[in-house]
Structure 1
Amino acid sequence: MIRRCIARLWPGVLALGPAGPALARQVVTSPAPEQVAVTIYRAADRGDGAAMDLAWLRGFALVTETRTVDIPAGEGVIRFEGVAAGMLPESALVTGLPSGVREKNLDADLLSPRSLYARGLGRPVTLRRRNPETGEAREEPAIVRASTDGGVIVQTKDGFEAADCGPLKDALSFDAVPEGLSARPTLSVATDAPQASRVTLTLSYLAWGFDWQASYVIRLRENGRKADVLAWVTLANGDPISFPDARAAVVAGKVHRAEPDGQAGARRPPDRLVYPCFTQNKRSFGMPPPGGASAPLAIVVTAQRREERLMDVPLAVTVTEEGLGDLKLYRVPMPTTIASQAQKQVALFHRGDVGVVIVHAAEIRGDRAAGRVGQRLRMGNRQADGLGVALPAGTVTVFEPHGGQPVLSGEGTLRDAAVGQDVEVMLGDAPQVQLAIEPVARDANRHDREDYAATVTNANPWPIAFEARLAAPEDDERIVEPLSAKLARKNGALLWKVTVPAQGTARLTYRLRRR
Structure 2
Amino acid sequence: MAGALLLFATPALPIQAWADTIASPKPDKVAVTLYRGGDGPFQTLDTWQREEAMAKGLIQVTETRTVFLPAGRHTLRFDGVADALIPQSATVEGLPGTLVERNYDYALLSPGTLVERSLGQTVKVVRTNRRTGRRTEEAATLRQGPEGVVLQTAGGVEALGCSGGTEALVFDTVPAGLSDKPALSTMVDVAVPTQATLTLSYLAIGVNWQADYVARIHPNGRTLDLTGWLTLVNASGTSFADAPTQAVAGRLSRVEVDVKRGEARPIARNCWPMDTTHRGRRLVHPEPPAAPAMMMAPAPMMEGGLQEVVVTGKRKLAEQSDVGDYKLYTLPEPVTVAARQTKQVAFLDQKDVAFQRLYVVQLDPWSDYDETDDPPAATVVLRLDNKPADGLGKPLPSGALAVFETAGGRPAFAGEQAMRDVPVGQPFDLAIGEAMDVRVRPRLVAEQDRRQDRVRRVYEVDLVNAKTVPIVAEVRMATNRQGFKVVAEPMAHDMRDGAAAWRVTLPANGRKTLRLVVEYDD
One of 453, 460, 465 as aligned partner of 1:458 = 465
1:262-298 deviation per Cα after TM superposition (whole angstroms, max 9, x unaligned): x4xx56786975968995135599xxxxx95897783
Give the whole-Å Cα distance in 2 for the aligned partners of 1:318 and 1:478: 48
1:230-281 deviation per Cα after TM superposition (whole angstroms, max 9, x unaligned): 1011112233221211111111111122136xx4xx5678697596899513
- The match for 1:206 is 203
8 Å contact from structure 1 (residues 109, 185) kept in 2: yes
Residues 471 and 302 of structure 1: CA distance in aligned 2, closer, same or farther (over 3 Å) = closer
Give the whole-Å Cα distance in 2 for the aligned partners of 1:118 and 1:253: 44
Whether 1:258 and 2:255 are equivalent positions in the alignment is: yes
Relative to structure 2, which stretch is displaced further, 481-490 or 136-145? 136-145
Whether 1:183 and 2:185 are equivalent positions in the alignment is: no
- The match for 1:498 is 504
One of 16, 23, 40 as aligned partner of 2:18 = 23
8 Å contact from structure 2 (residues 447, 458) kept in 1: yes
- The match for 2:289 is none
- The match for 1:412 is 417
Structure 2: where are the runs of 5+ without partners? 285-295
8 Å contact from structure 2 (residues 485, 519) kept in 1: yes
Q: Which amino acid aligns with 1:14?
A: F
Give the whole-Å Cα distance in 1 for the aligned partners of 2:310 and 2:490: 56
1:434-481 deviation per Cα after TM superposition (whole angstroms, max 9, x unaligned): 3212344899xx997553321223344433322111247x76777554
Whether 1:46 and 2:39 are equivalent positions in the alignment is: yes
Residues 362 and 105 of structure 1: CA distance in aligned 2, closer, same or farther (over 3 Å) = same
8 Å contact from structure 2 (residues 107, 179) kept in 1: yes
Residues 211 and 178 of structure 1: CA distance in aligned 2, closer, same or farther (over 3 Å) = same
Give the whole-Å Cα distance in 2 for the aligned partners of 1:81 and 1:294: 24
- The match for 1:299 is 306
1:383 deviation in Å?
1.2
Q: Which amino acid aligns with 2:511?
A: T
Q: Secondary structure at the match of 2:113?
A: helix
- The match for 2:76 is 78
- The match for 1:470 is 477
Give the whole-Å Cα distance in 2 for the aligned partners of 1:468 and 1:269: 55
Whether 1:110 and 2:108 are equivalent positions in the alignment is: yes
- The match for 1:329 is 328
1:28 deviation in Å?
2.7
Q: Which amino acid aligns with 2:392?
A: L
Give the whole-Å Cα distance in 1 for the aligned partners of 2:128 and 2:7: 12
- The match for 2:287 is none
1:353 deviation in Å?
0.9
1:107 deviation in Å?
1.9
- The match for 2:441 is 436
1:139 deviation in Å?
7.4
Identity of aligned residues (%): 35
**TM-score, with structure 1 as normaliser:** 0.79
8 Å contact from structure 2 (residues 161, 167) kept in 1: no
One of 85, 90, 104 as aligned partner of 2:88 = 90
Residues 412 and 70 of structure 1: CA distance in aligned 2, closer, same or farther (over 3 Å) = same
One of 200, 220, 225 as aligned partner of 2:222 = 225
8 Å contact from structure 1 (residues 19, 180) kept in 2: no
Q: Which amino acid aligns with 2:461?
A: A
Relative to structure 2, which stretch is displaced further, 505-514 or 411-420? 505-514
8 Å contact from structure 2 (residues 463, 512) kept in 1: yes
Q: Secondary structure at the match of 1:90?
A: strand
C-alpha RMSD of the superposition: 4.1
Q: Secondary structure at the match of 1:115?
A: helix
Alignment of 1:187-198 (within 5 A): 187-198=184-195
Q: Secondary structure at the match of 1:53?
A: helix
1:21 deviation in Å?
4.9
Give the whole-Å Cα distance in 2 for the aligned partners of 1:29 and 1:419: 49
Alignment of 1:126-275 (within 5 A): 126=125, 173-259=170-256, 263=258
1:341 deviation in Å?
1.7
Residues 338 and 129 of structure 1: CA distance in aligned 2, closer, same or farther (over 3 Å) = farther
